[in-house]
Amino acid sequence: MTVVVTGGVRGVGLGITTAFRAAGAHVITCARREPDGLPEGVGFERVDVRDADAVADFIGGIADLDVVVNNAGGTPYLPASEGDARRHAKVIELNLIAPLIVSRAANRVLQGRPGGGSIIMIGSVSGHRPSPGTAAYGAAKAGLDNLTASLAVEWAPRVRVNAVTVGMVRTEKSAMHYGDAAGVAAVARTVPLGRLAEPADVGHACVFLASPSAAYISGASLLLHGGGERPAFLDAAAQASTASPTRGQQPSTGDAIADTHTPDREDNA
């Protein structure tokens, strides 16, 4: 199996690269800058995934391609009211337009392969709920979900297209988002499984979606977020119950019972 992982040189991307390599795949990754090091046997090409011509040359030159993982992406913290419009547009370009560019190039190769192939998008829970401070990123990831479903229909039956929708991940940049070790631990406690994801968790999900075990899965979005996050209203209600002795009692006849159904919320991925 030959696999291309965009941005597969650090963080989540390196976790994906390492997982496919451990599964016996020939892995080629790309990024704008050369990495300090990669796992043994992993190939590297310097490619800007926003450059359609460069991507076409890179992907088109891999005749035995089987799988492409669109991992390259990211965003700075930038409230929507700040910065110029171009900065926000560049976030959308990297996180939505670039995966389309890479996927189009991959599809041209995979449609001609004897067994077809698989394309995997790395999405985010930021595309499933409000993403304050990273609105353009959240919008791009929401678009990536629809792109996944649409391409899965357009390119079937030769090419399967799926997404892994990722929650909070422990990487070398965790401190930038969550503070020191105590801050990271506090955030981890909000996840039902009690920890942040590791890059390897994302990698294992990608290996599954690329495998024969997922042969009938296409157009799907696999949530990889440890069960999400404990809804904030539950903690607020618990605190209120502690403060008021009448809280938590059964309502008497005639009391109104509020509808407490509230959408879950996730922290920025």
3-state secondary structure of 163: strand
- The tokens for 113 are 């392969």
Helix ranges (DSSP H) in 111-192: 135-154, 174-178, 181-188
C-alpha span between 116 and 65 (Å, rounded): 9
77 is catalytic: no
Can you name the residues that pair with 162 across neighbouring β-strands? 120
C-alpha span between 243 and 227 (Å, rounded): 29
C-alpha span between 73 and 105 (Å, rounded): 18
Helix axes 52-60, 98-110, angle to 10 degrees: 30
Rg (CA), the chain: 21
Can you name the residues that pair with 169 across neighbouring β-strands? 197
Which residue in the list 77, 137, 178, 216 is annotated as catalytic? 137
Report which of 9, 3, 15, 92 is spatially closest to residue 50, judged by C-alpha positions. 92
C-alpha span between 121 and 153 (Å, rounded): 15
C-alpha span between 206 and 163 (Å, rounded): 9
The residue length of the chain stands at 269
Question: Which residues are designated catalytic?
Answer: 137
